[in-house]
Amino acid sequence: MWTNRLNLAILTVRKLQPGVFAAAFTLIIIKRHTIKNLTNFKLAYRHYTFHSGSFQTGGDIHNTKNMKIKEVTVQADSLYHKDKHPKLIVISGPSGVGKDTIARSLIDTDPDRYYFVVTATTRPPRDGEVHGVDYFFFSNDEFAEMIENNELLEYAVVYNDYKGIPKQQIRDALGSGRDVIMRVDVQGAATIRKIIPNAISVFLTTETEEELVRRLIERKSETAEGLKLRIAAARQEMKRLQEFDYWVVNAEGRQERAVREILSIIEAAHCLVNQEPIRL
């Protein structure tokens, strides 16, 4: 068998005159000099033309007449090598659309492939939230020190609290070959797009405003005044949907569908012909 070469055969037959046929048989042999990435191989091309003959694929040609043989050798480098760069996926949208839930669900599909970026914030933790898992919870003084030391990819004031993205965790994850998933507010997503134009941005919404309001009420983390503020902000943020690459609806009871759609977006990004690495 051919262990170090690939054989491709093409047979064309045409009628020259009654009872006489001509067949053109093309055999392409790729001799691999290095297995990895199919680099530095020679392409040997042999073209056989014969009348009323017969041939056997992968072996010798028998009973041929008027055979003409032409051989051309071409050098090629990395013809089948495909550059793969880890992606940065930005999940954004109004408060209450399920950014955290969807981002975590994406990570759970393949924890070895995806890294979840932990956001730093000065707001107090909600019930069940864990420092370093859900958020990095810092005091105002600690957050100010990170700003001074240029340790944040972006930061902003959101509902009277600071939020920001520590840089180093992203560099480490990309360096390990993992796709990085972050969830940020709409204002933060705009900043990231300016800093990293080739980041993939996804705008997440509910199906209706009524559904969004219900989720915010069920969260029980807002005063009546705070709830009105978030609803008003959500209406303004919806107007910025066109700034994003993709729009995904996280409908009630159909979270799995939203996750599948975003996974498809990521896979498509890895199939792009022209890809650039993420640079911070």
Please give the positions annotated as active site: 126, 219, 230
| 97 contacts 205 by C-beta, under 8 angstroms | yes
Q: What amino acid occupies position 242?
A: Q
Q: What is the largest CA-CA distance in the chain?
A: 94
The answer to whether residues 110 and 97 touch, using CB atoms and an 8 Å cutoff, is: no
- Rg from Cα positions in the chain: 29
Burial class (CB in 10 A: 0-12, 13-18, 19+), 184: buried
The pairing of beta strand 152-158 with beta strand 161-166: antiparallel
Q: Coil, strand, or helix at residue 262?
A: helix
